[in-house]
Amino acid sequence: MSVRRPPSCLRRALAGLALMLLAVPALAAPLEVPLPADGELLRSQDTPLATLLLPTGPASGDSVPSRAVEGEIFRRSWRFTGDLSPLQLLAPIRDELEKQGFEEIFACTARACGGFDFRFGIEVIPAPDMVVNLSDYDFYAAEQPKSGTAVSLLVSRSGGATYVQLLERHAPPAPGALSVMPEGRPTNEAAETAQEGGEEAAPELASGVSQSLLADALEKGGALSTGAIADLMVLQGHAPLLDLEFESGSAQMGAGPFDSLQQLARFLRENASATILLVGHTDSVGSLEGNIALSRRRAASVRERLIQGYDIAGARIEVAGAGYMAPLAPNTTQAGRETNRRVEAVLVTP
C-alpha cells in the first residue's frame, strides 16, 4: 500500500519548482532553419544542461529505441495556417541541415513510425504549443558528427494548421560559464519564502503550470485550486495531477481521496463528449524501457480509479506511459523524484 508523503517533502519540491534559476550556464544560439515567414512561434524554451532522447527506430511494443545525449537543449514549436503538408515544412529543414553536415539518424512517417506508440514514446511539447495528429505526422532525427549537435524534428497537420517541433542538443557549456537571466526572481510569496528557507532553485515547469497555480498548490498539499484542472484542460490541453501518490517502482496508487482526481472527474461529467489520455510519468530510477512500462501501469491505475470510484466510462479514457522523459523536477533529490512520479491528463477531444 502506498504511504502518504510527508507534506514537507511536497512543499519543498513544489517550492523549488516555483523558483527560476538566477544563474545558469550561458547558452549557445539555436539553429536557424528555413520556415515560412507567416508562422507563429508557440514555444521557445532553453535548458542549460539536460538529456535529449533521440529516437533511432520505430516504436516496438510500448517503447521507442532511443539514444540519450546530454547538453544544452532548445525546445521550439511553431504553428502555420494554410494547406502545408508536414513534408512541405520538414523537407526544407532536413535539406538545410544536411547541407550543414548533419547525418540522418532516423526518419519516418506516421504509421511507419509506429503511430500512437511512437508519438507517446518520444518527447513532445505539450498542447496547445504542439499538436500531433496520429495519422498525419513526419519525423526526422539527425546529428552533426563534428560538433555533436543533434536535432529531433516533428511536424504534424491537425485542425487546419501544421505544427513544427524542433528539439536541439548542443555541446554542454564549459564549467563555470555563467550568465544571469534578465528576468528577476519570482515575486509570489511562496517562491520568496522557499528561497529564504534555502530551497534549491529549479527551472520553469516543463508542463507550463503557472507559478501562481503552484503557489496555491503549496497551501493545499499539492492539489491545484478548485476549478484549476478544468481551466488547464481547456486553456493548455493538459493538466498535471500533482497530489497523486506512488511509491518508487510501484504502480499502486494511494487510497486518497485526491482533489485533482475529483476535479478531473467533475470536468468529465460536465463535458460529456470529452475524452482524455492519461500519461504516466516516473522518476529516473531504473531503465527507460522499464519506466515506460511502469508509467503506463500508473496511468492505468488512475483510469481504473476514475471508472470505479467516479463512474466515468472507460471508453473515454486512454492511457500511455512516458517514463522519465518529461520530469517536472530534478531527479537528483528525493523530493524531486516524488514530484516526478505522477500522471497527467491530456484532453484528446473536447
Q: Are residues 54 and 12 part of one domain?
A: no
Where is the domain boundary, 170, 194, 216? 170
User: Average of pLDDT values for 330-336?
Assistant: 84
Q: Indicate if the pLDDT at residue 183 is higher than 50.
A: no
**What pLDDT band is residue 86 in, cutting at 50, 70 and 90?**
very high
Give the total number of structural domains in the chain.
2
* Average pLDDT rounded to a whole number, residues 299-315: 93
Amino acid at 118: F
| Region of poorest pLDDT, from 108-122, 128-142, 161-175, 300-314 | 161-175
Q: Note whether residue 321 is domain-resident.
A: yes
Of the pLDDT bands very low, low, confident and very high (cuts 50, 70, 90), residue 173 is: low
Residues 224 and 106 placed together within one structural domain of the fold:
no
Q: Are residues 157 and 296 in the same domain?
A: no
Domain presence at residue 191: no
Q: Is residue 187 part of a domain?
A: no
Q: Within this chain, do residues 339 and 224 fall inside the same structural domain, yes or no?
A: yes
In a domain, 241, yes or no: yes
Indicate the pTM of the whole model.
Answer: 0.49
Cα separation, 324 vs 288, in Å, equals 7
Strand order in the sheet with 342-349: 238-241, 342-349, 275-281, 317-321
Would 199 be classed as within a structural domain? no
Q: Is residue 192 part of a domain?
A: no
pLDDT, one tens digit per residue, over 6-40 is: 444 444 444 444 443 333 344 578 999 999 999 99
Q: Which residues form the domain of 279? A: 7-20+204-349
Same domain, 286 and 254: yes
In a domain, 182, yes or no: no
pLDDT of residue 342: 85
Q: What is the reported pLDDT for 208?
A: 40
